[in-house]
Amino acid sequence: MTADPSEPVPRDWWKSAVVYQVYPRSFMDSDGDGIGDIPGIRQRLDYLQRLGVDVLWLSPVYKSPMDDNGYDISDYYDVDPLFGTLADLDDLIADLHERGMKLVMDLVVNHTSSAHPWFQESRSSKDNPKRDWYWWRPPRPGHSPGEPGAEPTNWGSAFSESAWTFDPDTGEYYLHLFASSQPELNWENPEVRQAVYSMMNWWLDRGVDGFRMDVINLISKVVHDEPPDLRDGIRGGPDRQPGPIDTVRFGDPGPHVLHGPRVHEFLQEMHREVFAHRPPGLLTVGETPATTVEQGLLYTDPARAELQMVFQFEHVDLDSGPGGKWDLAPATSRDLIDSLAQWQEGMGEIGWNSLYLGNHDQPRCVSRFGDDSPEHRDRSAKALATVLHLLRGTPYIYQGDELGMANAPFRDINDTRDIESHNAYRAALARGQDPDAAMEAIRYKGRDNARTPMQWDASEHAGFTTGSPWLEVNPDHVTVNAAAQVNDPDSVFSHYRKLIKLRHQEPVVVHGTFTRLLRDGEDVHGYLRRLDGRELLVVANLSSKEGLEAAVPDAPTWAASELVLSNAPEPAERDRIVLGPWEARVYRRG
């Protein structure tokens, strides 16, 4: 729904918006170097407008050594030549605004790249004015610097290494919760915070419409008054919380770095310095791993003036065992719906949810939560989208999910590129794990599953590039691609279009209350959305089982009421609701 630029923007416009995430490296390559870029995105705006999305979230395009594909920034004020120029980005912003669409940038300020001049200065000497812009600590007393065990704390990083790297020049360690080339910024230092706020204001003044804030709940660390001011984490043990850290080898930094004592103070300061004086029309969403509903409310309660919404991880950690992300654990559709419903009920009328099943860090949702077999792929992709998009919150579509793109058939580690997977694979082998077992976990959970090039058509490289793609195109692109779907009324693409239209046309989808139904359903799930006498019933069979009844209250009346949307042929029965494999229906009354 392209917004009418003459109309005043409602304060909570983002509640009726649908956001599309573009991973620039894999979306569209315009110059044949095999890597997507900004001019390539501009070439595909008609496609996104036809889909009907309102906002583009652009994963990082800033100058970067690309150790973590751009989430390691060396210059916040410039675009990396791989992706284009600042002028290209200005043109993209102008194109989108002309179409009544918006652009949200990725804000990665928990850490920078070690190539960033701030860090270069900071590491140059202990008394450099920017030394305290990062977290430097001396070796653990009684240990020889650089030797295992001398790290200031036993924390592990999300990329399967120690969270500390020794710098022989200054004889100290610096902290990094991700790669060693992603040093943590010290938000305790007001100069750091002001530098971040100026950069954000620079981009907003340039026409950007908001920010997706990377791991923003990590910016405040627990600093003790008594030395050591940073304390060791818990290792291993039965009551260990699932998460990315390998606590067999390291201590869990979580309790020391997540939702720190000043995180809300910093976010409220950011709001005052960057957003409070600006007209409505901006979007802010924080990526907040390991967040509870209660914490989610603190971040998104408008009265607290912090964030509009957060990406919480509960439903994307369901299939992580005690050993963390790579310790695969079974998760059922019931687990998924239980988690989504808990956040619906928990956010209530105060907070606000982001609605997502995929992004550039998660495997493809149709493979993970659906069924990507040829028989069920389309219908399960549509069923998952139906259940997700009609919930209370702002939906996020990850590029390619609107086509039903699935996980890739990686043969071995050499088929992948992601630093997280490579480090995890190396660590697994170092622990003596069988390479096939390690590769099986990466095939199932690896982030590269989401990063294979966008499948535009059935040609050699799926219309993504005329060169050789940085990551192999999924061979199923010959059948699963945009060209085959954009004009097919029964395609996954068209189903997403209908869902987006429903959100744009039905206030009950945006502002309606949420009531869970079929709480005990293993495979069949349902909920009601209500607003001023208008009701939408959403029911879905999230399994490949045949003929499952959705025994909702008043089913006969519902079965006879208006069927607004479904991913299966018109049901014969009009007195009860019986769903086929991966069948989803949306009924309306009032």
Interface contacts to ligand TEU, rule CB under 6 A: 68, 71, 108, 158, 178, 214-215, 244, 287, 289, 325, 360-361, 420, 447
Active site residue 121: no
Quickly tell me which residue has 């917004």 as its tokens.
3
Token output for 95: 């194109």
Q: How far apart are CA 57 and CA 62, in angstroms?
A: 14
Q: How far is the CB of 295 from ligand TEU (least distance, A)?
A: 15
Residue whose C-alpha is closest to residue 301's, from 310, 313, 292:
310
Which is catalytic among the residues 287, 371, 506, 523? 287
Q: Which residues contact 73 (CB under 8 A, 6 or more apart)?
A: 60, 62, 63, 64, 108, 112, 113, 116
Place of tokens 């309102």: 54
Please state the closest distance from residue 391 (CB atom) to ligand TEU, in A.
22
Q: Is 214 a catalytic residue?
A: yes
Report which residue's Cβ sits closest to ligand TEU.
Answer: 71
Q: Which of 73, 70, 79 is nearest to 25 (CA)?
A: 70
> Rg for the chain (alpha carbons), in Å?
24
Structure tokens that stand for 246 in this block: 């390998």
CB of 43 to ligand TEU, least distance (A): 25
Copy the structure tokens of residue 432.
Answer: 């003596």
Q: How far is the CB of 361 from ligand TEU (least distance, A)?
A: 4
Q: Measured from the CB atom, is 66 or 89 closer to ligand TEU?
A: 66
Q: Which residues contact 361 (CB under 8 A, 6 or more apart)?
A: 447, 450
User: C-beta of 106: minimal distance to ligand TEU in Å?
Assistant: 8
- Which whole-number Å values give the CA distances from 191 to 133, 173, 198, 347, 405, in the listed order? 8, 21, 11, 34, 44
Q: How far is the CB of 557 from ligand TEU (least distance, A)?
A: 44
Cα–Cα distance, 337 to 285 (Å, whole number) = 22
Whether the Cβ atoms of residue 114 and residue 122 lie closer than 8 Å to each other: no
* Rounded CA separation 11/279 (Å): 8
Residue nearer to ligand TEU on the CB measure, 247 or 566:
247
Pairing of strands 513-517, 524-531: antiparallel
At closest approach, how far in Å is the CB of 454 from ligand TEU? 18
Nearer to ligand TEU (CB atom), residue 54 or residue 287: 287
Rounded Cα distance between 359 and 205, Å, is: 28
Q: Catalytic pick from 209, 214, 523, 535?
A: 214
Quote the tokens at residue 173.
């360690």
Beta strand residue intervals within 184-340, DSSP E: 210-213, 234-235, 251-252, 283-287, 309-311, 320-321, 324-328
Q: Are strands 283-287 and 210-213 parallel, antiparallel or unpaired?
A: parallel
Residue closer to ligand TEU (CB basis): 319 or 523 = 319
Nearer CB in complex with ligand TEU: 441/538: 441
- Identity of the residue, 20 or 527, whose beta carbon is nearer to ligand TEU in the bound complex: 20
Of 48, 38, 31, whose CA–CA distance to 70 is shortest?
A: 38
Measured over all CA atoms, what is the biggest interatomic distance in the chain, rounded to whole angstroms?
A: 78
Residue 220: closest CA among 150, 160, 295: 295
State in angstroms the smallest separation of the CB of 369 from ligand TEU. Answer: 16
Q: What is the length of the chain?
A: 590
Catalytic residues: 214, 287
